[in-house]
Amino acid sequence: MYSAHEMDELGSVVLELAGIVNRPDRDDLLLAEAGVSLDRALFPHLVRLSVRGPTAVAELAAEAGRDHTTVSRQLAKLESLGLIWRPQAQGDARTRPAALTPEGEAIAEAIGAARRRLLSKALASWSAADRQALVRLNRRFVDSLMAGFQAK
């Protein structure tokens, strides 16, 4: 089985990583690298929509760990900027999908390219095998976490 020390170390690394990823100055750095002027609370939705395709507010809120009303307001702001569109639908607004406009796609691609450049710099001294192992093990870790946290 796993030792308490081993799990504490893993927990510490995960918290440190989350802290790094969620720091506002890191978001500012990424946006500056991308040459994008956008509220840092909005760009994660563009990136998620770029990866996932059209997605409902409730699903975006769950992925972002935010309340659906907050995400709905943020999507309304993105829509007013012409970066997403949401078809008119009857019924629950939380089920209306949001999708990127061509301008939103261009910004999401600029952010993706900037992320690739910054990650390439951070991993410049890593071997190709280590980079591949990092991706493989992180994918496995995330999949295991998701499976472990499924409602039973």
The pLDDT of residue 95: 72
What is the arithmetic mean of pLDDT over 42-71? 92
The pLDDT of residue 116: 97
Sheet containing 55-56: order of strands = 55-56, 97-100, 84-85
The pLDDT of residue 128: 97
What is the arithmetic mean of pLDDT over 147-152? 72
b/e code 96-132 from CB counts within 10 Å (16+ = b): bbbebeeebbebbebbeebeeeeeeeeeeeeeeeeee
* pLDDT higher than threshold 70 for residue 124: yes
pLDDT confidence bin for 152, thresholds 50/70/90: low
The pLDDT of residue 130: 98
Q: What's the whole-model pTM score? A: 0.85
* pLDDT higher than threshold 60 for residue 132: yes
pLDDT digits (tens, 9 = 90+) for 61-114: 998 889 989 999 999 999 999 999 998 766 666 578 999 999 999 999 999 999
What is the arithmetic mean of pLDDT over 25-29? 92
Mean pLDDT of the chain: 91
pLDDT confidence bin for 8, thresholds 50/70/90: very high
CA geometry: angle 128, 132, 136, nearest 5 deg:
170
What is the arithmetic mean of pLDDT over 117-129? 97
